[in-house]
Structure 1
């Protein structure tokens, strides 16, 4: 049995503004760096056999905050990247609906085979993305005899893993949170993914306490 800590990267400026990132390489903002540091402290005593990350810097920075205190290396895997949204990338959600109304409607309807207009990158369909995510996660744990491994990725990656483990298609409304810097625990028994714990952000409570303390001192 392998335990997988599937972690979403910390906050970016584009997350805060609801600007779609996809494959565009956006770094953590100051809050995201604080979240990553808190995550690293919380997991410092957690034994890990390996740490994998998407190669996009918002995930790499988050993974490095986990790896550095324990002297481990981060192994990069492009298969853990966010979905590629083509021409949608870099746009605010409201801008997408105005410029590409039909494609936006297909996105909101979770059309699994819709391919959005090409931008800097060629967009992936939802079906292609989900297959990539699940095959990457299962490949990593199947090729190695890990007892516990961390994978730092993106919101869309977490959603695909959740739906796969729960047997939920994309026609089912998303009724679960996908939080920045959250720890989401799965198990892999050699044939199936199962969710053990979802959306753990207890480690971020210290940041809320620090913010309140700053207000009090102000």
Structure 2
């Protein structure tokens, strides 16, 4: 299986510095242009399936890819962004004023009531990987998701259930593409992470603000 992990284009919340989590925000004008360039990048690539998070900003981005392929976008709630509960819809400054105790932790894994737990995230990653490997061993898949989930899923592919014990180094920019190949044993080979060369062709700067 060849798996392309793709972050959605810039949203209006990214543009304003707002933490999104699972809260709905559409693509900004810049995000729509990024999605168009992403679609053109994938026009020459073979794809068998296109999956998208069920959140609007991801689905809009996935549709830009499907415009170049005779494929429908399949919505998948299991690849939506990490649930951030009371942090969603706020800027980092607002979050740290309200919850100063989390300044030294990742916003994705604060443990605050109402946020998705590390165990829940791990179970999601496990389920997504199992479904992909069982149903798409010989397929080429585009999976459009979110910066937080993608960065954690990459860690899960490398470290399994101990992913949260290891420093997470990835920055996944808007429409950044990561290509992973799974060999017969199911083990991943990483071809590249966060490739945004398509944005350079359109003279656009990638947005790296996550969540």
Report if TM-score (shorter chain) is over 0.5: yes
- Backbone CA RMSD of aligned residues: 2.2
Distance 1:209 1:201, change over 3 A: closer
Matched, 1:151 2:136: no
Q: Distance in 2 between matches of 1:40 and 1:183?
A: 12
Equivalenced residue count is 202
Matched, 1:184 2:178: yes
Q: CA deviation at 1:205?
A: 0.7
Partners of 2:42 and 2:68 within 8 A in 1 = no
Q: CA deviation at 1:72?
A: 1.2
Which sections of structure 1, spanning at least 5 residues, go unmatched? 211-218
Q: CA deviation at 1:170?
A: 2.6
Partners of 2:47 and 2:142 within 8 A in 1 = yes
Partners of 1:49 and 1:146 within 8 A in 2 = no
> Within 5 Å, which residues of 2 pair with 1:64-213?
64-102=63-101, 104-105=102-103, 107-108=105-106, 114-118=110-114, 123-167=115-159, 169-189=163-183, 190-208=185-203
Distance 1:124 1:40, change over 3 A: same
Query: Once the two structures are superposed, what CA deviation does each residue of 1:10-56 show, in whole Å capped at 9, x if it has no partner?
Result: 00121122211111111110111000000100111101010000000
1:75 partner SS: strand
* Structure number with larger C-alpha Rg: 1
Which residue of the partner structure matches residue 5 of structure 1? 4
Give TM-score, length-normalised by structure 2: 0.86
Q: Distance in 1 between matches of 2:19 and 2:7?
A: 15
Give TM-score, length-normalised by structure 1: 0.84
Query: Once the two structures are superposed, what CA deviation does each residue of 1:165-215 show, in whole Å capped at 9, x if it has no partner?
Result: 3327334333332111011001223533332211111111122179xxxxx
Q: CA deviation at 1:81?
A: 0.4
